[in-house]
Every structure is written in structure tokens, then in C-alpha cells.
């Protein structure tokens, strides 16, 4: 979901990805070549006990930071990434060589200004960019990865892992937790789990639970992965292959849910690729684009991680953890909230953000709520949306004033 920002410009120009897609059609069945890129990380030898009851003996959290922590350690902002994102929020991603996924939002002079704030972003628990996940060594059989034996994790587990990192960095209270989509779920979970440690929370294009429709789309992706002959029951690593075809189909399906019908029509309509060749090999541009989305994804993502993280999203239901009352999750909160939705987002529609706002009203929380007009669908949170960026920037500036952060 996160890569869209990097690939969108290619899609619009319609040039760069065509060649790449053709190339990847040849190579994707040969399996992606995961580079063993080193990631900055911290490990905790006492591990982490998960919501499922299992205990991970060792917890590693891979992360990146930007900017400088002030003397009072009061200017830290945690960015939470989405389903397929990573910790490389505002710099070149070392595996893909592409720019950071939220460069428009995080950086010097950006809404999350790294000249003013100390920005942290961690790879989620269950991920595949250096944090503990299905590719990490198995607790009992260190010679092999966890694979499908990796315990199920929850959004709250991800947040607890991030909390360990934040503690490790010596930060008692985060100035803000900001995230879009699954990152927004984490921002909500942060505010619910550690209300005293979060001055401001910004869930963007998020929801307090994963809807039946969202779970259904995830299940298609998981079924596609499981149906790939190279999946080998999740032990593909033992066979030296990866279920690249299944993972690519999962990504293609998911990608459709990230964009709006209007955006697809605007970019591709019914245009054919290679119009000179009308008989054989004729393809709609949208097909080629989707295939590119799928094939470039498998180069950087692990199938078992995809299964683990999609499940964590499906399991998310903040109200269910509080006897069915979303408001109860925030009782007594002093956190300042900004909820942002996008008008054409049908995956995490505005109604979901509004429901969170109402729950926060029930506990008289300090909440700002804005729906940004955009035709770009769920992915809008990653793209150039000046109204969103101005809103976020203004909200943070207002919070900084209330928090006593100098400008």
C-alpha cells in the first residue's frame, strides 16, 4: 500500500513501468532475490509476550530516525507505516533504491519538519525489513527462519514493540504518533494503550476495526499466496523458491482497493498498450500497470510477512478490546487527536473516521476531524494532497504551542 507513492509518478507518465513490467514477467517465477541489506536495529534479549500468549525470546526492532532529539526529549514524533511500508520513511529505501515512502510529509520544511522534530519510524513486528518477523531465526530452531510458524501478532503487539524502542531511545513521552491506514490503527492503539505517553495522535485514512469487506480482500490475497505451487506450505525458503506469483496477485488485488475508480479511469481509462499490435498480446494499460505493481512488490516483500501483517490488520477491533465500546478505549484521555479521511477512500471511508471522532466526543476528548476532498482513493494519504499537508502541519504547530515546544 505504501509503495504507491513511489510508483504513482511512473504510472502517470506511463513509460518507466512498461519496460519494467515486461522484464518482471520473465523473472518473477524465478523468485525474487532478497538482498541481505543490513538495517539499523536494536534487540531486546528479554523478548516480547504477544497477545496470543506466546513469548518471543528475542525481539529486534529495525528503525530509522531523522532530526535531533531536543534536550528535554520532548520533540519526538513516531511515524507508523502501513501494511507493506517500512522504516525508510524519508530516505532512499536500500533494497529498492527508491525514495522514502512519505517524503512529501516528512523532511526538512515538510509538515513533519525534521528540523524541528525528532522523527522515528520502526519496521513493524512481523515485517521483513529487519524487525522480528517470519524471516527471523526461529526461537527453538535458530538454524531456520520462523516462516509460517511465526506466532500471530496484533496491532497492539506492534505498538508494544515500538514502545520498547521509544523507551530504549530514552523518550518518556512522544509529542505525536502519526500513521496512515494500518499506521493509523497503530496510532489509535498507541493512544489507547499509552495515553500518558502520547501528546497528540494522528490516525490518517484509518479505522477502529477492519471491516468484513477489508478482511475479504485480504483473504483473496492470502488464498493467492497459498495457492502458489512455490508456497510449499509456507516453507518455501527451504526449497529455495518464493511464491512470487501468488504474492504478486495478492498485491494486485490489494492495489485496486487503494485507488478509486475515478483515479483508475483518469490514468488509464480503456487505453490499450501497444495499439499497433491489435491481434495478439493486446493489453489494457491498467493490466500492465497492475502487473508492474505486483512484480515490483515481490522483490521487496516476504510472503509470510504479508500473511502475518494482513492478519494483524484483520484482527484489529479497538472497541472489542473494551467490551464493545470504542469510547471506553479513550476514557480520560488527554491526547489531542487529528482524524483525517479522504473523500474517495472506499477502503477506509470517512464514516470510519467519523465514528472514531464520535467515540472521542463521548469522552470529551480534544479532537479535530477533517475530510480531505480527493479523487485518489485510499492512497491519497501518500500522495501530493496540499490540503492534507497544510492540515497536518497546522495541527502539529498548534499542538507544539500547547505542549510548550518552542518554534
Partner 1 sequence: MNFTQPVRFVAKNMRVDLALIAGMVAPNSRVLDIGCGDGTLIDHLFRTKQCDARGIEIDMAEVTRAVTHGLPVMQGDADSDLANYPDAAFDYVILSRTLQAVEKPREVLRQMLRISTFAIVSFPNFGHWSLRLQLLFGGKMPMTRAWHRMWYETPNIHPCTIRDFFALCEADGYKVEQWLAADEDGKKAPWRKFASLANFFGEQGLFLLRKV
Q: Which is nearer to partner 1, 29 or 371 (CB)?
A: 371
Tell me whether residue 86 is one of the annotated catalytic residues: no
- In angstroms, what is the C-alpha Rg of the chain? 21
Distance CA 174, CA 346 (A): 31
Burial 109-143 (b: 16+ CB within 10 A, else e): ebbbbbebbbbbbbbbbbbbbbbbbbbbeebeeee
Nearer Cβ to partner 1 (20/363): 363
Give the active site residue among 5, 41, 136, 181. Answer: 181
**Residues contacting 61, CB < 8 A, separation 6+:** 41, 42, 43, 44, 122, 123, 125, 131, 132, 161, 162, 164, 165
Task: Report the C-alpha gap between 312 and 183 in whole angstroms.
Answer: 12
Specify whether 149 is catalytic.
no
Q: Which of 35, 37, 65, 303 is nearest to 162 (CA)?
A: 65
Contact 153, 50 (CB under 8 A): yes
Q: How far is the CB of 117 from partner 1 (least distance, A)?
A: 15
C-beta of 213 vs 361, nearer to partner 1: 361
Q: In the complex, what is the shortest distance from the CB of residue 125 to partner 1, in angstroms, rounded to a whole number? A: 32
* C-alpha 284: how far from chain center: 29
CA distance 186 to 82: 9
Residues of this chain that interact with partner 1 (CB under 8 A) are: 336, 338-339, 354, 357-358, 361-364, 366-373, 387, 390-391, 393-395, 397-399, 401
Say which of 345, 353, 374, 379 is annotated catalytic. 345
Using the minimum distance from each CB to partner 1, give the nearer residue, 62 or 365: 365
Nearer to partner 1, 25 or 402 (CB): 402
Q: Which of 255, 353, 378, 379 is the catalytic position?
A: 378
Least gap, CB of 336 to partner 1 (angstroms): 7
Residue 288 bears catalytic tag: no
Closest approach of partner 1 to the CB of residue 330, in Å? 12
Residues forming the active site:
181, 345, 378
Amino acid at each position: 500500500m505504501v509503495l504507491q507513492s513511489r510508483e504513482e509518478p511512473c504510472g502517470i507518465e506511463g513509460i518507466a513501468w512498461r519496460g519494467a513490467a515486461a522484464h518482471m514477467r520473465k523473472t518473477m517465477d524465478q523468485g525474487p532475490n532478497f538482498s541481505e541489506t543490513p538495517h539499523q536495529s536494536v534487540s531486546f534479549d528479554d523478548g516480547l509476550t504477544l497477545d496470543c500468549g506466546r513469548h518471543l525470546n528475542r525481539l529486534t526492532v529495525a528503525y530509522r530516525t531523522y532530526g535531533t532529539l531536543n534536550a528535554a526529549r520532548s520533540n519526538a514524533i513516531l511515524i507508523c507505516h502501513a501494511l507493506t511500508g517500512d522504516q525508510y520513511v524519508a530516505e532512499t529505501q536500500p533494497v529498492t533504491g527508491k525514495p522514502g515512502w512519505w517524503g512529501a510529509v516528512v523532511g526538512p520544511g515538510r509538515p513533519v519538519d525534521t528540523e524541528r522534530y525528532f522523527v522515528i519510524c520502526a519496521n513493524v513486528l512481523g515485517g521483513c525489513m529487519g524487525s522480528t518477523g517470519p524471516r527471523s531465526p526461529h526461537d527453538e530452531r535458530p538454524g531456520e527462519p520462523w516462516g509460517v510458524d511465526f506466532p500471530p501478532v496484533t496491532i497492539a503487539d506492534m505498538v508494544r514493540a515500538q514502545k520498547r524502542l521509544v523507551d530504549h531511545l530514552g523518550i518518556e513521552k512522544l509529542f505525536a504518533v502519526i500513521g496512515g491506514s494500518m499506521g493509523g490503527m497503530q496510532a489509535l492503539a498507541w493512544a489507547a494503550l499509552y495515553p500518558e505517553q502520547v501528546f497528540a495522535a494522528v490516525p490518517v485514512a484509518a479505522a477502529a476495526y477492519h471491516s468484513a469487506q477489508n478482511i475479504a480482500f485480504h483473504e483473496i490475497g492470502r488464498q493467492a499466496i497459498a495457492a502458489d505451487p512455490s508456497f510449499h506450505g509456507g516453507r518455501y525458503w527451504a526449497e529455495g523458491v518464493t511464491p512470487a506469483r501468488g504474492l504478486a496477485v495478492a498485491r494486485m488485488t490489494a492495489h485496486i482497493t487503494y485507488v478509486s475508480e475515478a483515479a483508475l479511469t483518469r490514468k488509464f481509462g480503456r487505453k490499450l498498450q501497444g495499439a499497433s499490435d491489435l491481434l495478439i498480446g493486446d493489453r489494457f494499460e491498467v493490466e500492465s500497470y497492475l502487473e508492474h505493481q505486483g512484480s515490483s512488490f515481490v522483490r521487496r516483500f516476504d510472503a509470510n510477512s504479508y500473511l502475518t501483517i494482513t492478519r494483524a490488520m484483520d484482527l484489529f477491533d479497538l472497541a472489542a478490546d473494551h467490551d464493545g465500546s470504542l469510547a471506553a478505549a479513550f476514557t480520560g484521555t488527554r491526547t489531542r487527536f487529528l482524524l483525517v479521511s479522504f473523500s474517495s477512500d472506499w477502503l477506509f471511508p470517512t464514516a470510519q473516521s467519523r465514528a472514531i471522532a464520535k467515540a472521542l466526543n463521548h469522552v470529551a476528548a480534544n479532537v479535530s476531524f477533517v475530510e480531505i476532498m480527493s479523487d485518489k482513493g485510499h492512497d491519497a494519504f501518500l500522495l501530493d494532497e496540499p490540503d492534507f499537508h497544510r492540515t497536518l502541519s497546522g495541527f502539529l504547530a498548534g499542538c507544539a504551542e500547547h505542549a510548550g515546544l518552542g518554534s
